């Protein structure tokens, strides 16, 4: 009985996690359905990052993202591509060598970022 109960609870928690990914906010949701090919750039030296920005920080994001690191492409942020009640999804294009620095700077500014390259 204990074994069956444990199995049931494990399956139930997995089902709950899957449901949250489909209906949850942009932090836990699969965002590949919202990104179109024209929003994505991937070359030998350039890449695109997806950034989940809280709604109250949209103006701050648009005024600061170019200065978060040195190698961000000017005026490269598109979005919000989609929104939920708390967050919006933006893209930003930058040089690949600057990705880790950008992630750190975005984390310091309390933006939530997502790297997505396998959706194509």
The tens digit of pLDDT for each residue in 63-89 reads 999 999 888 989 988 888 888 888 888
How far is the C-alpha of 37 from the C-alpha of 120, rounded, in Å? 8
Residue among 113, 71, 67, 109 nearest 89 (CA): 113
What's domain 2-114's architecture?
A: 2-Layer Sandwich (3.30)
CA dihedral (84, 98, 45, 32) in degrees, to 10, reads -20
What residues form DSSP beta bridges with 89?
52
The DSSP 8-state label assigned to residue 13 in this structure reads H
Task: Please report, in tens digits, the pLDDT of each residue of the chain (120 residues total).
Answer: 889 999 999 999 888 877 766 666 777 677 777 778 888 888 898 998 888 888 898 999 999 999 998 889 899 888 888 888 888 889 899 998 988 899 888 888 888 766 555 444
């Amino acid at each position: 009985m204990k074994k069956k109960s444990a199995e049931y609870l494990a399956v139930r928690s997995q089902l709950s996690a899957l449901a949250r990914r489909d209906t949850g906010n942009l932090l836990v949701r699969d965002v590949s359905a919202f990104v179109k090919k024209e929003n994505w750039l991937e070359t030998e030296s350039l890449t695109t990052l997806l950034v989940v920005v809280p709604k109250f920080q949209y103006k701050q994001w648009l005024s600061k993202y170019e200065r978060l690191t040195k190698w961000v492409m000017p005026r490269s942020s598109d979005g919000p591509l989609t929104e939920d009640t708390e967050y919006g999804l933006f893209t930003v294009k930058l040089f690949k060598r600057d990705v880790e620095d950008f992630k750190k700077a975005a984390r310091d500014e309390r933006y939530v970022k997502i790297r997505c390259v396998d959706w194509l």
